[in-house]
Chains A and B, each alone.
Chain A
Amino acid sequence: MSEQAFVQVRDLKRVFDVSKPWLNRVLERQDKQFLKAVDGVSFDIRKGETFALVGESGSGKSTVARMVVGLLHPSGGTVSIDGVSMSDAKAAQERQRLRKRIQMIFQDPYASLNPRWRVGRIIAEPIHAFGIIQGDAAITERVGELLSLVGLHPDDGKKFPHEFSGGQRQRIAIARALASNAEFIVCDEPTSALDVSVQAQILNLMRDLQQKFGLTYLFISHNLAVVRHMATRIGVMYLGRLVEVSDGKQLFAAPRHPYTRMLLDAVPDLAMVGKPREGVKGEIPNPINPPSGCTFHPRCPLVFDRCRVENPPVIDGVACHAVNAGRVAA
């Protein structure tokens, strides 16, 4: 990419120590155990687009998200947003200024809203914290405006989070994210806990707000149909690695990586009435002892010698020896 992207993630890694306590290890003669939750992930997000990460449970999506917003330290690699490094000690001051431009929305809106605070105070909090507006009257007015923006009533600010349904709570979380005039919002499974009719309301709202304010989203979901609906570009993760990055619709029209193909074959879809499905093989291996080489190799229909020993590099958006060696039409 010639022009510098808004968000740049380079060779991002995160290792977790999942060892048993020291005494157990000594008694059972076990070594320390490490889990590579994220293992060398790189991608760019352009301003105003929705970049989606999709993958099955445990593939590392949330871990990437938490490192991107600075909630978790990477074990290796870098994240920079609008040219500011998220880890370089020298950039501490710039990072402080950057902070209010980045917000995060979680799957469970209830857990992320303080149950003892009224909704108005929850939404006003980032306005106070970043000193965005001064004066109580002006802040109250702004909170009412934000509530209307997400489809709630300004008077709803007087209520407590438990008085709202799941979808309404997610609207409150979105209003709070917008309160600091954030430009970049990281959304981790924002609709996975919601019913489909409510999910549609939230997805539509997120798209409207994106158009209105030129927001940039990192959108995480395990639901391929939701991702297809929302994303400009999509990254597919498997066992901590990014196996394919592609333009949104292109990924579905012409998937290239064997795992992406398998995943697309597996999705139950409304259009599938009465159609037989392709066989899907195996399960995700234990991430503590991942397979050698390409970690997908025990399940891959195209596997050959090289796959068992060598981790395929991402070339032209795909990390697969067979695709990269031109063994398959892709």
Chain B
Amino acid sequence: MTQPVLSVQELTVEFVTRRGTLRALDKVSFDVARGEVLGVVGESGAGKSVTGSAIIGLIDPPGRIAGGKVVLSGERVDNLPPEEMRRLRGKRIGMIFQDPLTSLNPLYRVGEQLVETIQTHTDLNAADARKRAIALLDEVGIPAPDRRIDGYPHEFSGGMRQRVVIALALCAEPEFIIADEPTTALDVSVQAQIITLIKRLCKERGTSVMLVTHDMGVIAETADRVAVMYAGRVAEVGPVRDVIKEPLHPYTQGLMGAIPSITGEAERLVQIPGSMPRLSSIPKGCAFNPRCSKVFARCHVERPELIDVGGHQVACHLYDQASAGKTEIAA
């Protein structure tokens, strides 16, 4: 197998609080191949954003990476000194967040911000950097880019601003982009345009993307593979079609039935009882066990690891044929 662009291995992130140490990520592992869009889905608090922040070294104290590693094109990056990490961000890893205003400075013209970023990461002179900025704005679908480049962020609509942020993320031709809920704040019709744009750009440039969202529909349409997160862990990873059409993990199965569809015929939505646990009270063994309809003795004592099941990885004891029988007896 060729080397993945990004490999996250047993990544663990903890927040030290007055009430003890909270583990927001617990041994999260996944790979992203070149040109691939990996969707990361999960309900609020699943750990999606923390995963993104950890990859780019932006976990603020009292949070810290407590274990595991992040490998970018073969090179370990989670232990880089802060100065080198800062250089890596923007240059090799681009970022797109939910609120475009967090990435844009309201006081500067859009062009100034693009030119500055381009000049930080390349050795283009000011005139060439400006030309490149105009070309990028054109590429992300800003009409009349040679005029709009001198506008301020507030003069752009929400969708247009998000396009500018995408242009900003592309400035240094990064090999990897983290997009955290890039369309959540946008209306459906604009969301569709942004998704199409991200997909097209990645295909043309061979950029890999980690697309974080709570919207399974967005994933269905955009991602090649998908990782489903629950309570700081990866519950299931696999090709998007398999995970959506034939989910293996009881949580993913429930989730698929819980989502109303514009084509489905379900009279009643599947109901998963309860809600995601707080970090301070994550159940022992399988974190999903209080909500799982298929729970058995082993689930309360032993955490299920990701195992391969037909080209698809799942963390659930139901699929661990070798030891399933034994535990029933032991329990």
Contacts and interface: CB of A to CB of B under 8 A. Distances in A.
Interface of A: 56-57, 165, 167, 195-201, 203-204, 207, 222-226, 228-229, 252, 262-275, 277, 279-280, 283-284
Nearest to A225: B260
Contact of A200 (B187, B190, B271): B271
A196 B189 contact: no
B197 to A, nearest CB: 11
- For the residues of A in contact with B, the DSSP-based class is helix
A195 B193 contact: no
Contact of B221 (A201, A225, A277, A280): A277
B244 interface: yes
Nearest to B46: A195
13 contacts: A57-B187, A195-B275, A199-B258, A201-B271, A203-B260, A225-B260, A226-B260, A228-B262, A270-B264, A271-B261, A273-B244, A273-B245, A277-B192
A283 B221 contact: no
B149 to A, nearest CB: 19
B254 interface: yes
B127 to A, nearest CB: 32
Given A56-B188, A197-B272, A284-B187, A268 B215 contact: yes
Interface of B: 43-44, 157, 159-160, 187-193, 195-196, 214-218, 220-222, 240-241, 244-245, 254-264, 266, 268-273, 275-276
A169 to B, nearest CB: 11
A165 B263 CA distance: 30
B241 A225 contact: no
A207 to B, nearest CB: 8
Contacts of B190: 280, 283
A268 B217 contact: yes
Contacts of B241: 273-274
Is chain B's interface secondary structure helix, strand, loop, or mixed overall? Answer: helix
Contacts of B160: 283
Contacts of B270: 200
Contact of B259 (A165, A265, A270): A270
A280 B269 contact: no
Given A252-B262, A273-B221, 20 more contacts: A56-B189, A195-B276, A196-B259, A197-B258, A200-B272, A225-B217, A225-B262, A266-B188, A267-B262, A268-B215, A268-B217, A269-B261, A271-B262, A272-B217, A273-B240, A280-B190, A283-B157, A283-B159, A283-B189, A283-B190
Given A195-B44, A222-B188, A283-B189, A277 B196 contact: yes
